[in-house]
Chain A
Amino acid sequence: MLKNDLILRNPLRLMGHENEAIVPQGGFGAVLARAGVGKTALIVQVALNTMLQQKNVLHVSLDDPVDKVNLWYQEVLNSLASQYHVRQIKELWESIQMHRFIMTFKVEGFSVPKLEERVKDLTEQQIFNPHMVIIDGLPFDESLRSPLEGLKTFSVNHRLHLWFTVTTHRHQTPGADGLPVQLSAVGDLFDAAIELQPEGKKIHIRCLKGGPEDSEACDQLLDPSTMLVQEP
């Protein structure tokens, strides 16, 4: 199997989306789930697909060290490769690795101006120009509106596609718009929201916002053993 075939297995495409078009330039997407269900695994699949298309992904992780984030990519790529019988995984990885940059912060040390400054360091020296930015581990609480607005401006200015992972909690009931409470105050900023819901031994992937009209197309399953999207 070739790189292009892998691109066709994009988790978003499997869910009926034309690639990352689900989130427009300057837009926000969110992957929501309870802790440990597979948010990072799914977002890393989205990132790997962007990298396979030779587009740059900036992965911002709060609290996890660079090595751990890197390990996620290796693991997901290895699983993808074995699921789709890709040989020469080392070459494939070497050819896409330069399309990813990991930036990690301590939660308390993260701020939008700091991120902007760091990205400026990278772009001005032509070290790395991100196309997609993933922010993994940002706590979604009441005080988040203003930083998110800052990120929105940043995203629009740099024409980025921004994805967030959002941790939800079992005991919380969704808001009136059907979105988890974490997004209720900031839902308007998001173009897409995908939720992972474990039911028994299955993990459903559901589009809460920005999905295709056909809700069936959106309801996919995540294989709990590999954390990959199961093929229909």
Chain B
Amino acid sequence: MATRIEKIRNIGISAHIDSGKTTLTERILFYTKRIHAIHDVKGKDGVGATMDSMELEKERGITIASAATYCEWNNHEINIIDTPGHVDFTIEVERSLRVLDGAILVLCSVGGVQSQSITVDQQMKRYKVPCIAFINKCDRSGANPFRVVAQLKDKLGHNAVAMQIPVGLEADHEGVVDLVTMKAIYFDGDNGETIREEEIPESLMDLAMEKREVLIDAATLFSDELTEAVLEETPIPAEMLIDAMRKGTLERKITPVFMGSAYKNKAVQPLLDAVTQLLPCPADVSNQALDLDQDEAQVTLTSDDTKPTVALAFKLEDGQYGQLTYIRVYQGKLAKGDTVVNVRTGRKIKIGRLARMHANQMEDIVGISAGYIGALFGVDCASGDTFTDRSVNLTMTSMYVPEPVISLAIVPKDNKAEINMSKALNRFSKEDPTFRTYVSEETGDTIISGMGELHLEVYIERMRREYNAEVTSGAPRVAYRETITRRSEFNYTHKKQTGGSGQYGRVAGYMEPVDGEEFTFVNEVTGGSIPTQFISACEKGFRNCLPKGPKMEFPVTGVKVVIDDGASHSVDSSEMAFQAAARGAFLEGYMKAAPVIHEPIMKVAVETPTEFQGGVMGSLNQRRGMIIGSQDEGPMCVIESQVPLAEMFGYSTVLRSLTQGKAQFTMEFATYRQVPQSISEEIAKKHQEEKKNVA
């Protein structure tokens, strides 16, 4: 690990599902000699691409977990995170982007910019990750890389500039013309490993000249030296052009575009050159941490081995040797035998074994320097935890974790499944912060929640495959609540004389709605009409009524109870009697206080290409949604609305079909609001039926 920091690249490969990023990664590993044979994603040979380490991924041909791997190219060390492509796994992508310094945006030359490319691109924007684009599958019928370059500009707003042009397309795709060196590059040998440089074919010369002009024109914005050279019409050295492009790329003001076909082994090596030439090294990127001793003031970290260590655990995996924690060291270094502190828990950890990962194979190492990505063994922590040496109390900026948008109940088939299920849930919720689980107090069911239907489906399937836990899942549920809308008075006497000592207690007062609080209890009893020792019994009696509201058995919130009078009996009054009296008083007052049902209202933001705006607004309106506004952002627009959660189930499918999959939405809890009368009646009916079924 003696490599200088300028020679390190931490990159991600982000793209739409099926645009071939796993194949591309596989080729990169092959050319960098990390693997010695090439396997296909949906492999006929039963091996599968090296990066897809989970069985399920191999079967579906998709990448779920972001396996980290490293390789070397041109004396540079490249750490690659293979990111998942599906929208329902965005936390994985987001987590990867958090630790990356640069990315390759892979696009399909036939499909072009698709909805997931848009999502991934927005995530890159959020984390300000500089990127280069690779237009893959130029060998496919219908390939048109220049259309994709135009889409990068129009749909994603990138200042996309082609660095290459293809030599032949579709079945005739042979190689590329490098517009910087103005040479045609061909890839010979069984696996394209032999690079042959030749003069540009005559037929492509004009196009190459034209595209080079465009490239130089775009690059001049970032280099005065280059502008001068252009004005003076002196020859432009390749380094000068690349330096200018690198500057623009690091500022995210330009996106260099490369093209080829990973599957046909065309033009992967020039892409690797570009990674080393154009993407940033860890020192080029500013990373911030929060100082917990200074009221979370921001601290800039420097990729310096001699400074106090700050490292982030960004990915956990359950391997055959226990928990494997992927870690990025931002400052200082981690070495075998060091003791570090998990800032979240305060627990000290001694580093036993460090490894550099290559998908599911590994290589032991002695230390991880600043700017590096590696893995720890047998460290108990959660994803997103920060480790420091004890000299500083810093935490990495909390990663943006979207709130789960969907939840459903799961029931294990048998006892064995139940034990395995709890193991699996424990692991998944540690691995993935967007996957949450809890036991519903109301129903006693185990509820899982996550980012989408597919997200939860995959976890249910993983439970079955990896943990042998068979579960059945129920329909998603909404957490309704009850509250009162006006003040009402109560005066209730609990009296029982059924032999033995009797029960007597009278509780009087009023209840009224209260904003922002679940329950408030005020004792205004004077003159000892309720003896002091029974006041807490009264409160307990009232509180016991809250979990199951008298109207429809939903939890009661927003109620203030004031007791101001009562009566007791010297022999028959007891705590139990006053609890019962309070319960009676609550019921009496509650039904007079015009109780209503409240439902969770979600803030829903839909991001859609403008052409679907009308349809999307209609779909939200149909769901009892109130549209707050629409925000035009060039080719895309964001529609902000408030929609009852109960109406949002299945919305992702509706939205996909409504917008050809080009829109995406985020949903977070906004507030509780009263359910309209008609809906309230429906809920009541449903509730009655459920009750009957249970009986």
Contacts and interface: CB of A to CB of B under 8 A. Distances in A.
B614 A103 contact: no
Interface string B68-95: 0000000000000000000000000000
Interface stretch (B2-10, B137-145, B294-302, B623-631): B623-631
A125 interface: yes
B613 A109 contact: no
A94 B674 CA distance: 11
A70 B634 contact: no
A204 B171 CA distance: 74
B632 A105 contact: yes
A135 to B, nearest CB: 14
B632 A106 contact: yes
Contacts of B629: 59, 66, 69-70, 101-104
Interface in A25-58: none
A125 B613 CA distance: 12
Given A101-B627, A101-B629, A102-B628, A121 B634 contact: no
Given A122-B617, A125-B618, A104 B515 contact: no
A127 B627 contact: yes
A110 B631 CA distance: 11
B633 interface: yes
B453 to A, nearest CB: 27
A118 B630 contact: yes
A69 B633 CA distance: 16
Given A66-B638, A118-B613, A121-B614, A94 B673 contact: yes
Nearest to A89: B515
Given A97-B626, A125-B614, A125-B621, A109 B632 contact: yes
Given A121-B614, A122-B617, A127-B618, A104 B632 contact: yes
A65 interface: yes
Interface in A60-78: 65-67, 69-70
A154 interface: no
Contacts of B628: 66, 70, 101-102
A127 B617 contact: yes
A122 B639 CA distance: 12
B640 interface: yes
A128 interface: yes
A121 B617 contact: yes
A110 B629 CA distance: 16
A8 interface: no
Interface string A101-120: 11111100110001000100
A209 to B, nearest CB: 30
Given A121-B614, A125-B614, A103 B633 contact: no
Nearest to B674: A94
Given A106-B633, A109-B634, A66 B640 contact: yes
A171 interface: no
Nearest to B639: A66
Contacts of A65: 631
A201 interface: no
Interface string B31-52: 0000000000000000000000
Nearest to A102: B629
Interface residues of B, number: 18
Interface string B620-663: 01000011111111100010100000000000000000000000
A90 B514 CA distance: 12
B contact face: mostly helix, strand, loop, or mixed: strand
**A70, A90, A102, A124 pick with most chain B CB within 10 angstroms:** A102
Contacts of A109: 632, 634
A175 B629 CA distance: 37
Contacts of A121: 613-614, 617
B631 A104 contact: yes
Contacts of B632: 103-106, 109-110, 114
Contacts of B515: 90
Nearest to A124: B614
Nearest to A121: B614
A70 B641 CA distance: 12
A66 B630 contact: yes
Contacts of A189: none
A98 interface: yes
A98 B626 CA distance: 7
A216 to B, nearest CB: 39
Nearest to A64: B631
Contacts of B638: 66
Interface string B352-384: 000000000000000000000000000000000
Contact of B634 (A101, A106, A124): A106
A128 B618 CA distance: 11
Nearest to B621: A127
B613 to A, nearest CB: 6
B627 to A, nearest CB: 6
Contacts of B633: 106
Nearest to B622: A125
A81 to B, nearest CB: 14
B373 to A, nearest CB: 35
Contacts of A69: 629
A136 B631 CA distance: 14
Contact of B630 (A70, A104, A110, A124): A104
Contacts of A127: 617-618, 621, 627
A169 B549 CA distance: 61
B675 to A, nearest CB: 13
A149 B614 CA distance: 26
Contacts of B617: 121-122, 125, 127
B210 to A, nearest CB: 28
Contacts of A124: 614
A69 B638 CA distance: 14
A120 to B, nearest CB: 8
Interface string B198-218: 000000000000000000000
**B621, B630, B673 pick with most chain A CB within 10 angstroms:** B630
A103 B628 CA distance: 9
Contacts of A128: 627
A66 B631 contact: yes
A91 B626 CA distance: 16
A65 B614 CA distance: 19
A103 B621 contact: no
A188 to B, nearest CB: 30
Contacts of B673: 94
Contacts of A118: 613, 630
Nearest to A58: B629
Contacts of A106: 632-634
A156 to B, nearest CB: 24
Nearest to A62: B632
Across the A-B interface, give the 8 residue pairs with the lowest CB-CB distance, nearest first.
Answer: A102-B629, A121-B614, A66-B629, A105-B632, A104-B631, A125-B618, A127-B621, A66-B631
Interface of A: 59, 65-67, 69-70, 90, 94, 97-98, 101-106, 109-110, 114, 118, 121-122, 124-125, 127-128
12 contacts: A66-B629, A66-B638, A66-B640, A70-B628, A94-B673, A102-B629, A102-B640, A103-B629, A103-B632, A104-B632, A109-B632, A121-B613
Interface of B: 515, 613-614, 617-618, 621, 626-634, 638, 640, 673
Given A106-B632, A118-B630, A127-B617, 11 more contacts: A59-B629, A66-B628, A70-B629, A97-B626, A98-B626, A101-B629, A102-B628, A103-B629, A106-B633, A110-B632, A127-B621
